[in-house]
Amino acid sequence: MKLMVFNGSPKKGRNNTEILIKKFLEGFSENGNNSYEILKLNECPDIDIAVNKFLENEFIFVAFPLYVYFMPSGVLEFFERFKAYQEKIKSKKIFFLVQYGFPEAVHARPLEKYLEKATGELGMNYLGTIIKGGCNNLIDAPDNPFFNKIFKTIFLIGKNFGETGSLDKDLIDKFSKPENITLISKLLMKVATGLANKFYWRAELVRNNALERAYDRPYLKS
Nearest by Cα to 20 from 166, 135, 134, 125: 135
Please provide the size of the chain in residues: 222
Q: Is 146 in the site for ligand FMN (CB under 6 A)?
A: no
CB of 31 to ligand FMN, least distance (A): 26
> Does residue 124 bind ligand FMN (CB under 6 A)?
no
The verdict on 9 binding ligand FMN (CB under 6 A) reads yes
Please pick, from the candidates 1, 11, 42, 163, the single residue that binds ligand FMN as defined by CB under 6 A.
Answer: 11
Peptide bond into 178 cis (omega under 30): yes
12 binds ligand FMN (CB under 6 A): no
99 binds ligand FMN (CB under 6 A): yes
Is residue 67 within the footprint of ligand FMN (CB under 6 A)?
Answer: yes
Instruction: Sort 163 into a burial class: Cβ within 10 Å, 0-12 / 13-18 / 19+.
Output: middle
For 94, residues 6+ apart whose C-beta sits below 8 A from its C-beta are 60, 61, 62, 119, 124, 125, 126, 127
Contact between 65 and ligand FMN (CB under 6 A)? Answer: yes
Q: List interacting residues with ligand FMN (CB under 6 A).
A: 9, 11, 15-17, 65-69, 99-102, 107, 135-136
